[in-house]
Amino acid sequence: MEVYTVTIATGTSEYSGTNNYIFVTLVGEKGESERTLLDNPGLDFCRGAVDQYQVKSPTRLGTVLLVKLEKQKYWLEDNWYCRYVTVEPPGGDVVLTFPCYRWLIGDIKVEIREGPAKTLRDDSLPQLLAHRKRELQERQATYRSDTQNHTTNTGHLPQDVRFDNEKRSDFEHSLQYAWLAINFGRSWSDLDDFKRIFWKLRSPTAEYCMDHWKEDRFFGYQCLNGSNPRMIQRCKKLPKNFPVEPNMVQSSMANGTSLDKELKAGNIYLLDYAIMDGLPTNTIRGKLQYIAAPLCLLYQHPDEGLIPIAIQLEQSPDRDTLIFLPRDPPLAWLLAKMWVRHSEFQVFQLLSHLLRTHLVIEVFCVATLRQLPAVHPIYKLMAPHLRYTLEINCRGRTQLISPEGIFKRVVSTGGEGLIILAQREYKVLTYRSLQPHFDFPDRGVSQLPNYFYREHSLMLWEAIHRYYAVCSKEEDKQEFMAYRLGLYDGDNISLPSKLCTREELSTLLSVSIFISTAQHAATNNGQFDWCAWVPNTPCTMRQPPPTDKDAVNMEMIMATLPDVSQSCMQMAITWHLGRAQPDAIPLGQYIEEHFTEGRAKELIDKFQAELKVIEEHIVSQNEGLELQYLFLLPSRIENSITI
């Protein structure tokens, strides 16, 4: 009789343990062990427990290929989360690790494989080939490729892709807490009234924003390092629908230069919100809201930095169309900038944040779950970065399209406008624009000074790409082609037409990881900082854009900005979404060890060391800065989208 030592680790989150029966069978090249009930004296499979058992086999099994786990109800159904299983064969020469990281629900049998990554062509044994096939068949029955089109009820999602209980409780209570903490009913009468909602929720950057939001220089800074730093582009020639005359902006130019000279020198930049043009607007509590589709011209001034120099609030001007200038009456210029920032809120929340991070990553998530077995190297690479993707997106869609959704209640494009805006962006979204080493040159912003988002993004991109270039390997055709086709299923984003080389594969994986980590952090983590002071980035506008510069007064501004209820909700939403998550796992840290081989662990160590160097550089760069940019510190970037 051969005796194998089996160790089983139970999950550490709430309710991971079980009092149900757990059986194990070891499957080897030469046969199977006895089906063994795992039952030590005392309680087994408690939360966080690592339990050890003896499993017998009449004969030597040879190499252990699979571990069969079986759960049966004891008295009441009690789900169980298994982290991993280790097997020590007789003689104790080596310990084999079998990653699991899944829930066992109901009376169920599962089979798990040892940790080393294997492509289809690495397997030849019938038992392993059959296991790959069964696993994918089960997954494809569980995860349908049209998940993103129909699933808005998180209860329909499998437990393995849902929040842990602690995460769910924190998520559901934090927004309620924020709303109760700051919602009190009094209409705003002047700008200082907005300070009333800063009594509890605040941050140094939000307070800096409150003090400096009227400044042109601060407006320009946010185009580079705010919550939506991807919009700004170099302006080589003024758009035909933006008839700015040189004499209009001459007073904003440095001495001895002109608009024409600065255009040629590459110092003129543009924000163009044409995507907002003609959108249907929302109605909130029976009152129509308003939008604009601004064009904003900016100038990289040698002394003042990046500053706005002209704003037009519509895309199809006529002779009566206003072009707002810094020399205009101060309140007229201030209101024009508010309209630009209002468009920024719509584009940032729905397009830069939701569509270009959450929904793009959902494509990768569904394809990975449906087309790759857990032993596949790409699955092992991707799994830590897809955590909570499906539940987060289900909740996001509920808030977008349901009648009771938050965005319907607070955002000027809520409802039909949100859907049309997303559809417009989807049509022009390119794979190339998702790659930072192309995005910045394509927008002509590679030379803009103090563009910390650009500098930090490129450092992180290079580190991620180096890591995944080494981890990637030439793929067998069958499973990888199925994965590639899964990415295209349902007319998804414009991915590369071919993925034939190792470089093309590593780039694809790097794009997905960069988006789910660094890019999401850049657009999500600072939204409270930039949006909590509502006049800086208003979620809605209650009056139409001004048609007379001289008529703009404080009464008009207060009637246009969000009311107290909308302002409180905006602050609550941005705090809820932008706050540090209690279960955050930083970029490069892996609580689930899907890889068990030494070479993979060495690569992870090198990746972590490179991230540490980036962290030290960013910290050093920010020392002494009045306004620090720390959103892309690796320690503050989550390893996946969890909010």
Binding annotation: 17, 39-40, 78, 353, 358, 520, 643
User: What 3-state class would DSSP assign to 311?
Assistant: strand
**Phi, psi for residue 312 in degrees, rounded to 5:** -125, 135
Determine how many CB atoms are found less than 10 A away from the CB of residue 579.
16
Distance CA 117, CA 597 (A): 8
Distance CA 180, CA 198 (A): 14
The CA-CA-CA angle for residues 320, 289, 408, to 5°, reads: 145
Distance CA 214, CA 222 (A): 12
In the numeric block, the tokens 């509890």 are attached to 200
Q: Which of 200, 249, 201, 208 is nearest to 225 (CA)?
A: 208
Distance CA 271, CA 261 (A): 20
Q: Please, is 4 exposed, middle or buried when counting C-beta atoms within 10 Å of its C-beta (0-12, 13-18, 19+)?
A: buried
288 beta partners: 283
Annotated binding site for Fe cation: 353, 358, 520, 643
The CA-CA-CA angle for residues 280, 283, 284, to 5°, reads: 145
Spatial CB neighbours of 176, under 8 Å, sequence gap ≥ 6: none
Contact 82, 68 (CB under 8 A): no
Q: Please, is 67 exposed, middle or buried when counting C-beta atoms within 10 Å of its C-beta (0-12, 13-18, 19+)?
A: buried
Torsion from C-alpha of 310, 314, 316, 322, nearest 10 degrees: -50
Annotated binding site for Ca(2+): 17, 39-40, 78
Distance CA 295, CA 273 (A): 6
Contact 33, 4 (CB under 8 A): yes
Q: Which of 531, 560, 284, 523 is nearest to 406 (CA)?
A: 284
Name the region of 230 (left: φ>0; alpha: ψ -120 to 50; beta: rest). Answer: alpha
Using only the alpha carbons of the chain, give its radius of gyration: 28
**What's the token pair of residue 422?**
């997303």
Contact 543, 335 (CB under 8 A): no
Distance CA 377, CA 170 (A): 33
270 beta partners: 233, 297
Distance CA 414, CA 460 (A): 34
C-alpha 74: how far from its chain's center? Answer: 41
In the numeric block, the tokens 């909308």 are attached to 566
Contact 412, 340 (CB under 8 A): no
**Sign of the C-alpha dihedral, residues 365, 367, 370, 374?**
negative
**Sign of the C-alpha dihedral, residues 41, 43, 45, 51?**
negative
